Amino acid sequence: MAAIAVLKNSMLKPSLCRFAGTVNAAVFQKYGNPTNVLRRQKVQLKDVSKNDVQLQMLVSSLSRYDMDVVLGKNPQPFTFPMIGGNEGVGVVQKVGEQVSSLKEKDTVMLIRPYKGTWAEQMVVSENDVLPVPEGLSAESCSVLLNSAGIAYRLLNDFVSLKSGDVVLQNDASSTVGLAVIELCKARGIKTVNVVKDCGKGKNDLCQPANQVGGDVVIRESQLQSNDFQKILSDLPAPTLVLNARGGAVMTGMSAQLRKGVVVTYNETTQSPFSVSASMLMSGDICLKGFNMNEWLSGASVQDVKSMVDELAELVKSDKLHLGVKKTQFSELEKLPLTHLCPCFQTYVQSMDQ
Amino acid sequence: MAAIAVLKNSMLKPSLCRFAGTVNAAVFQKYGNPTNVLRRQKVQLKDVSKNDVQLQMLVSSLSRYDMDVVLGKNPQPFTFPMIGGNEGVGVVQKVGEQVSSLKEKDTVMLIRPYKGTWAEQMVVSENDVLPVPEGLSAESCSVLLNSAGIAYRLLNDFVSLKSGDVVLQNDASSTVGLAVIELCKARGIKTVNVVKDCGKGKNDLCQPANQVGGDVVIRESQLQSNDFQKILSDLPAPTLVLNARGGAVMTGMSAQLRKGVVVTYNETTQSPFSVSASMLMSGDICLKGFNMNEWLSGASVQDVKSMVDELAELVKSDKLHLGVKKTQFSELEKLPLTHLCPCFQTYVQSMDQ
């Protein structure tokens, strides 16, 4: 099972902060290799205004996406210094005078991007958080939106999928890809899954996709094989095609498509893909993009809650698995973070002085 | 004004056919350079069955698209020998016993693709033709569908355009591109037009686009200029983007888009274009394709009639111009047909023995 890293904050006592109103946070002053540019430093906590809540963070996730933000690969420009981290779970410590939906000691998850969750404490708007669903661990909640959440939106926002439909995806061994497989399986939708060629034996990237129930799992190098062409032609044409790879992989996949909505939500090859007129003109194809941060920025709290509740039910009924494997945060600096493989290692944040 | 070639059949007396049931036609037995593979030869006319009509052809158009079919650039495979020509106008000579909508001497236009209009006579289904609208010449009718017809569908089938909206297009000096400009002008829609760099002085491809009322007309080499960026940023973001070029031109254009429906209907560079995740993910973009032959194959006679009637009204009110300049068909073989420039020469077919 692929796992997203989780930074676990062991400092639950704010009194440990050396200066009033300052907290430890992982900050970067410029884009670059996270091991070079990320620094643990004191930052000033902003005042709790009338619609704000102050949170004591319990866990904050560390994903490939978080790394891309630090590396400067995100198209949105930021103002430095910036605190890293997009997802996390915390306990409400203080509420502003007009906050009605939350109270002290509520455990909540961050639902807006770029809020800087790699901090001991943070002050955000009441509308930036959601109470964690009952029965879901803080760790699971802190990785939910950018794995299963993306998968959920991809499967719900573009086409109306019904049991028996086919979804074709690349990067199927990523956390999003594996969640796509499980969410499809729960709805009777078939998945055709293309995984990267890297990894052999125990690390073969076909394994996780097979384990969670992918109907067809192949490597990128098999995309042009006769066997795969046969498999594709025996199935209904994919209704939805999910692209997180781009580059030559997606160019090759596109050339085989004649129908369906093709949604790009990532580009892990860091290369664009080619689109020919014959592909666009000789079938019923539509290419779109999906950006989870844009969706999260614009969604109502209720929209996010509906999705989170549905995903939580699937987790509780053992149909959706959010793998989180923990190791020490102190090991973070030893790892080649810029070359994170889709199967992340996981870290527990100790933030010791 | 760009003009599509028109083959005009001067042999209006079927008695001139040497053999009963055979007619002269321009036939190709294999794909290749039209000057090499197109042969004028006798073909057998099929019997007129109950739902058929037999036509004496008056004019048949010769467009870049027709040439592409002969060259084998069309993705649809054909059975040889094949008669060339997709559009044309003829007079009904015979009607099948169950034909109710047409009678002898009606002048009709072909509305389905690949029917082989480069022939003196042809037998087609009643549903393959439409009476020509009153007040429109046979020449205009014979070029209508694959010029203004494509433009009409591009502007009507993908987004709901309103006065003040902006349409951005490349290949704006083509017959479709010029029709796009005129149809937009008639509806108060602004056009930003990119033309190929070839042509200077009198042959400058900006001229025709300017003459028919393009709001902004630039050359492909100016796409990245600051002046053009300024023009684009001063206008509302294009609601519709029309691509008939592909290749580096469209890759460059795509990179500047953040919104709108991008419709590809041709690929005159004969190269695909690149699509990046940042383009697809950082805005509200949708890429589609349009194939006029597919549309014509599936449309009802009434659907085609509605479009043709509307276009005919625009022609009659001098808002839409279908340039047809005639020269002798006998000169056809002298011309480098495979390198037809967007401004076609026009030919009158004499088909003399």
Does B302 or A340 have the greater pLDDT score? B302
- Residue B275 has its nearest CB partner, among A272, A277, A285, at A272
Say if CB A151 and CB A184 are below 8 A apart: no
Q: What is the interface size between A and B, counted as CB pairs within 8 Å?
A: 92
pLDDT band of A329, cuts 50, 70, 90: very low
A283: which chain B residues are within 8 Å (Cβ-Cβ)? Answer: 289
Same domain, A162 and A140: no
Q: Would you state the pLDDT for residue A322?
A: 85
Same domain, A219 and A189: yes
Q: How far is B249 from chain A (nearest CA, A)?
A: 13
Output phi, psi for A101, to 5 deg: -90, -10
| Contacts by residues B29-37 (CB-CB < 8 Å, ≥ 24 positions apart) | B29/B80, B29/B81, B30/B80, B31/B70, B31/B71, B31/B72, B32/B70, B32/B71, B32/B72, B33/B71, B33/B337, B33/B338, B34/B67, B34/B70, B34/B71, B34/B84, B34/B337, B34/B338, B35/B333, B35/B335, B35/B336, B35/B337, B35/B338, B37/B70
CB-CB under 8 Å, A273 with B289:
no
A264: which chain B residues are within 8 Å (Cβ-Cβ)? Answer: 275, 277, 280-281
- Residue B277 has its nearest CB partner, among A264, A283, A294, at A264
- How high does pLDDT run on average in chain A? 84
The CATH number for B23's domain is 3.90.180.10
Q: From chain A, which residues contact B within 8 Å (Cβ)?
A: 75-76, 246, 251, 264-267, 272-283, 285-291, 294
User: Least CA distance to B282: which residue of chain A?
Assistant: A291
Same domain, A139 and A81: yes
Q: Would you state the pLDDT for residue B19?
A: 47
- Its domain, for residue A275, covers 158-289
pTM: 0.86
Task: Show the CA angle centred on residue B208, arms to residues B205 and B209, nearest 5°.
Answer: 90
Same domain, A95 and A24: yes
CB-CB under 8 Å, B274 with A276:
no
Q: Which of B133, B217, B113, B143 is nearest to B173 (CA)?
A: B217
Q: Would you state the pLDDT for residue B327?
A: 47
Q: Tell whether B314 is covered by a domain.
A: no
Lowest mean pLDDT of A59-73, A110-124, A231-245, B82-96, name the range: A59-73
Q: Would you state the pLDDT for residue B336?
A: 42
User: CA B142 → CA A114, B7, B27, B296, distances in Å?
Assistant: 59, 9, 19, 14
Task: Show the CA angle centred on residue A189, arms to residues A185 and A192, nearest 5°.
Answer: 90
Q: Tell whether B294 is covered by a domain.
A: no
Spatial distance between the Cα atoms of A233 and A253, rounded to a whole number of angstroms: 14
Q: Would you state the pLDDT for residue A20?
A: 55
Same domain, A162 and A79: no
Same domain, A92 and A219: no
Output phi, psi for A149, to 5 deg: -60, -45
Q: 3-class SS at A5?
A: strand
Q: Residue B21, Cβ neighbours under 10 Å: how many?
A: 12
A292: which chain B residues are within 8 Å (Cβ-Cβ)? Answer: none
Arithmetic mean of pLDDT, A170-184: 95
CB-CB under 8 Å, A275 with B275:
yes
Same domain, A89 and A202: no
Give the up-direction half-sphere exposure of residue A196: CA atoms within 13 A in the CB hemisphere. 16
User: Least CA distance to A255: which residue of chain B?
Assistant: B272
Same domain, A111 and A178: no
Same domain, A66 and A96: yes
Same domain, B245 and B209: yes
Structure-block tokens of residue B344: 């076609």
Q: 3-class SS at A276?
A: coil
Q: From chain B, which residues contact A within 8 Å (Cβ)?
A: 75-76, 246, 251, 264-267, 272-283, 285-291, 294
Q: Tell whether A301 is covered by a domain.
A: no
A253 pLDDT above the threshold of 60: yes
CB-CB under 8 Å, A289 with B281:
yes
B280: which chain A residues are within 8 Å (Cβ-Cβ)? Answer: 264, 287-289
- Residue B246 has its nearest CB partner, among A273, A277, A289, at A277
Q: How far is B15 from chain A (nearest CA, A)?
A: 42
Same domain, B239 and B111: no
Q: Give me the residues paired with residue B110 across strands.
A: B129
A278: which chain B residues are within 8 Å (Cβ-Cβ)? Answer: 75, 267
Same domain, B44 and B16: yes
Type of residue numbered B127: N
User: CA A52 → CA A97, A122, A128, distances in Å?
Assistant: 8, 10, 9
Output phi, psi for B86, to 5 deg: -115, -25
Q: Tell whether B311 is covered by a domain.
A: no
- Residue B282 has its nearest CB partner, among A75, A275, A282, at A75
Q: Would you state the pLDDT for residue A7?
A: 53
pLDDT tens-digit readout, A121-159:
999 999 999 999 998 988 889 889 999 999 999 999 999
Residue that has been written with the tokens 């509906």 in this structure: A306
- Residue B274 has its nearest CB partner, among A273, A278, A280, at A273
Arithmetic mean of pLDDT, A66-80: 79
Q: What is residue A97's DSSP assignment?
A: T
B272: which chain A residues are within 8 Å (Cβ-Cβ)? Answer: 251, 274-277, 279
Q: Which of B243, B216, B208, B204 is nearest to B323 (CA)?
A: B208
- Residue A277 has its nearest CB partner, among B251, B277, B289, at B289
pLDDT band of A65, cuts 50, 70, 90: confident
Q: To the nearest 10°, report the CA torsion of A73, A75, A81, A87.
A: -80
B265: which chain A residues are within 8 Å (Cβ-Cβ)? Answer: 277, 281
Q: Would you state the pLDDT for residue A166?
A: 97
Percentage of residues of chain A with pLDDT beyond 70: 84
Q: What is residue A244's DSSP assignment?
A: S
Q: Would you state the pLDDT for residue B326?
A: 59
Output phi, psi for B146, to 5 deg: -90, 10
Does A114 or B94 have the greater pLDDT score? B94
Phi-psi label, residue B275: left if phi above 0, alpha if psi -120 to 50, beta otherwise:
beta
Spatial distance between the Cα atoms of B203 and A119, rounded to a whole number of angstroms: 65
Q: Tell whether B246 is covered by a domain.
A: yes
Q: Would you state the pLDDT for residue A199?
A: 65
Domain boundary among A240, A271, A289: A289
Residue that has been written with the tokens 């494509």 in this structure: B150
The secondary structure element, H or E, covering residue B248 is helix B247-254
Find all residues with CB under 8 Å of B291, minimum gap 6, and list them. A281, A282, B265
Say if CB A26 and CB A44 are below 8 A apart: no
Q: Tell whether A101 is covered by a domain.
A: yes
Arithmetic mean of pLDDT, A303-318: 96
Q: Would you state the pLDDT for residue A108?
A: 97
Phi-psi label, residue A188: left if phi above 0, alpha if psi -120 to 50, beta otherwise:
left
Structure-block tokens of residue A105: 């000691």
CB-CB under 8 Å, A291 with B288:
no
B256: which chain A residues are within 8 Å (Cβ-Cβ)? Answer: none
Say if CB A315 and CB A140 are below 8 A apart: yes
Q: Which of A126, A125, A120 is nearest to A22 (CA)?
A: A120
Residue that has been written with the tokens 């630039």 in this structure: B218
Our count of domains for chain A comes to: 2
Q: Would you state the pLDDT for residue A39?
A: 80
The CATH number for A241's domain is 3.40.50.720
Structure-block tokens of residue A259: 């129908």
Find all residues with CB under 8 Å of B143, minimum gap 6, and list them. B4, B6, B61, B63, B87, B175, B322, B324
Q: Residue A65, Cβ neighbours under 10 Å: how many?
A: 22
Q: Tell whether A123 is covered by a domain.
A: yes
Q: Name residues of chain B where pLDDT drops below 70.
A: 1-20, 75-76, 199-202, 325-353
Does A109 or A16 have the greater pLDDT score? A109
Q: How far is A242 from chain B (nearest CA, A)?
A: 12
The secondary structure element, H or E, covering residue B41 is strand B38-44
Q: Tell whether B264 is covered by a domain.
A: yes
Q: How far apart are the first and last CA of chain A?
A: 33
Q: Give me the residues paired with residue B260 across strands.
A: B285
- Residue B272 has its nearest CB partner, among A266, A275, A291, at A275
- Residue B289 has its nearest CB partner, among A264, A266, A280, at A280
Q: 3-class SS at B216?
A: strand
Task: Show the CA angle centred on residue B164, arms to residues B159 and B165, nearest 5°.
Answer: 30
Spatial distance between the Cα atoms of A277 and B290, rounded to a whole number of angstroms: 9
Q: Which of A164, A152, A89 is nearest to A292 (CA)?
A: A152
Domain boundary among B289, B313, B340: B289
Q: Would you state the pLDDT for residue A167?
A: 98
